[in-house]
Amino acid sequence: MAKTHISTSINGEPVEFLADPGSSLLDALRNTLGLTGTKEGCGTGDCGACSVTVDGRLVCSCLVLAVEAEGAEIATIEGMAQGEALHPLQRKFLEMAALQCGICTPGVLISARALLEKNPNPTETEVRFGLAGNLCRCTGYDKIVRAVMEAAAEMRETV
Amino acid sequence: MTDIRYLAPRTLDEAVAAFAAAQGAARILAGGTDLLVQMRAGVVRPGLIVDIKKIGEMTEIVEPPEGGFRIGAAVAGATLAEHPRFGKVWPGVLEAINLIGSKQVQGRASPGGNLCNGSPAGDSVPAMVAAGAVVTIQGPGGRRTLPVEAVPAGPHRTSLAPGEILVSFTLPPRPAGSSDAYLRMIPRTEMDIAVVGLGASLTLQGGVVTAARIGLGAVAPTVLLVEEAGKALIGSRLDDAALEAAAAACRAACRPIDDKRGTIAYRTRVAGVLLKRTVAIAAARAQGGN
């Protein structure tokens, strides 16, 4: 079967690529486009390591077909920092050691950003529910939650 | 090399024609949160994937002039949660849909997919059954409607005929004093599959129940409409005797399996407990609480 030509937008840049109709957006990002910041954990939508946004909506890229990217706007972890300037969430994760092995971190950051865009002042409980779809095998959840709360507070002050 | 074709038609007629022509080799793609997992596991190997999300009717939330709501089968849970009125009128249906998976899954998963996946434990289905939702189905022979409880035919089987596609859910207009609720029993707080799930929809006038429907999930090969439980509540003031009669009807309807999530005895007992808890929430909402 021939591959399908896809025109899409990734982190604001127009991108074209060829996709197998049965392959996932995650495979296209990592293997076709070399955007390996998005991680593969379970491949079944349980762990959230492959979180990206498609047209502003938080999704697991392992559960999206690559061909569905046609005409869509995709945002990945590679677009989170502005040049050398880290996003406040990224900076707080580093300052507060909110990661151990780091495999879950890109997905957690994408989810946390989606959460704060909808709810700039979340309670700790809301952060925990909001990130329930992101599993951390190093069990670093407390530091992750604290870093998200701190980043949210800083982002509220700078608006 | 897999040999899969992908189609994203703009009209339902095109979708039905392609789906029917593939004669069982095709799969419908709504949110893909079940389909892509099944493809990855090798459980299904579709020759054709028909993506229905470019079809307006499948992705819109409409409030028809005659009242009620019509929800496209492929509307994502996150989209429904953002609707300004749906969750106020049908809080139980919304909370059931929003219990399916994580925020990421909510960005894609749809009530149509949840119903057509045919899991006895699908969270949205008991709430839709309680709501009295009617589904619209389109196939090569035209359109028909079915009460939602007539769609599941067994674990991972539906009563849809070959080539038929689930189009939308129609929820009826709500009289004053109506509300609904959904509760599920799981051993944790998030991201799990129901051991028992129960949807309750009530109308109360002057403290007396005038309409009641109960949907019960994860305790039989299909989600059940427990008509006897609704009858036990109608005409009552939700006194202990009426609630116990309705709980007994739910327990009697159970035909569960023993598995790692719960035993037959446990699921049966919990069905009665959930009836009382869910009805209490629906009644409080119907009487102006939240």
Q: How many CB pairs under 8 A join A and B?
A: 89
Check residue B81 and give its pLDDT: 97
Q: What is the CATH number of domain B5-119+134-171?
A: 3.30.465.10
Calculate mean pLDDT across residues B47-66.
Answer: 97
pLDDT tops 60 at residue A141 = yes
Instruction: Kindly report the CATH number assigned to the domain that includes residue A16.
Output: 3.10.20.30
B5: CB partners within 8 A, 6+ apart: A1, A21, B47, B48, B49
**Together in a domain, A58 and A116:** no
- Candidates A65, A115, A125, A136, partner chain B, best to mutate (most B CBs within 10 A): A65
A71 and A10 in one domain?
Answer: yes
Total domains in chain A come to 2
First to last CA, chain A: 50
Mean pLDDT of chain B: 96
CB A8 within 8 A of CB A72: yes
Q: What is the mean pLDDT of residues B44-59?
A: 96
| Listed residues A79, A110, A144: the one ending a domain | A79
Does the pLDDT of residue B1 top 50, yes or no?
no
Q: Identify all chain B residues contacting A132, using CB atoms and an 8 Å cutoff.
A: 102-103, 190-191
pLDDT (tens digit per residue) in B30-51: 999 999 999 999 999 999 999 9
Spell out the CATH class of B178-286. Answer: alpha beta
A74 shares a domain with A8: yes
Tell me: do A73 and A105 sit in the same domain: no
Q: What is the DSSP letter of B155?
A: T
Average pLDDT over residues A114-120: 97
Enumerate residues 6+ apart whose C-beta is below 8 A from A10: A29, A33, A35, A74, A75, A76, A79
Is the confidence at residue B290, as pLDDT, over 50? no
Cβ of A111 and B104 within 8 Å? yes
Determine the residue among B102, B108, B110, B189 to mutate to test chain A binding: the one whose Cβ has the most chain A Cβ atoms within 10 Å.
B102
pLDDT at residue number B15: 98
Assess whether A75 and A141 both reside in one domain: no
In a shared domain, residues A93 and A75: no
Q: B105, A45: Cβ pair inside 8 Å? A: yes
Q: What is the pLDDT of residues A95-104, one digit of tens each?
A: 999 999 999 9
Position B14 pLDDT exceeds 70: yes
Confidence of residue A1 (pLDDT cuts 50, 70, 90): low
Whether residue A139 is predicted with pLDDT greater than 80 in this model: the reply is: no
pLDDT at A81 over 80: yes
Q: How many percent of chain A have pLDDT more than 90?
A: 96
Residues of A at the B interface, defined by Cβ within 8 angstroms: 1, 4, 20-22, 24, 43-46, 48, 51, 54, 57-60, 62-65, 67-68, 70, 111, 114-115, 129-130, 132-134
C-alpha dihedral (A117, A119, A123, A125), degrees to nearest 10 = -80
Contacts of B36 in chain A (CB under 8 A): 24, 45, 62-65
Which residue of chain B is at minimal alpha-carbon distance from A20? B4
Model pLDDT for residues B113-157, shown as the tens digit of each residue: 999 999 999 999 999 999 999 999 999 999 999 999 999 999 999
Give the pLDDT confidence of B156-181 residue by residue, as tens digits.
999 999 999 999 999 999 999 999 99
Instruction: Tell me the CATH number at A132.
Output: 1.10.150.120
Q: What residue spans define the domains of chain B?
A: 5-119+134-171, 178-286
Which among A79, A99, A122 is the end of a domain?
A: A79
Per-residue pLDDT of B197-221, as tens digits, reads 999 999 999 999 999 999 999 999 9
Does residue A110 sit in the same domain as residue A69? no
Q: Rounded distance, CA A20 to CA A1, Å?
A: 8
Instruction: State the pTM of this model.
Output: 0.95
Judge if A136 and A119 occupy the same domain. yes
Instruction: Among A79, A99, A121, give the residue marking a domain's end.
Output: A79
Range of the domain at A47: 4-79
pLDDT on residue A158 = 83
Interface pTM, i.e. ipTM: 0.94
pLDDT given at position B24:
86
pLDDT at residue number B2? 55
A70 exposure class (CB count in 10 Å sphere: 0-12, 13-18, 19+): middle
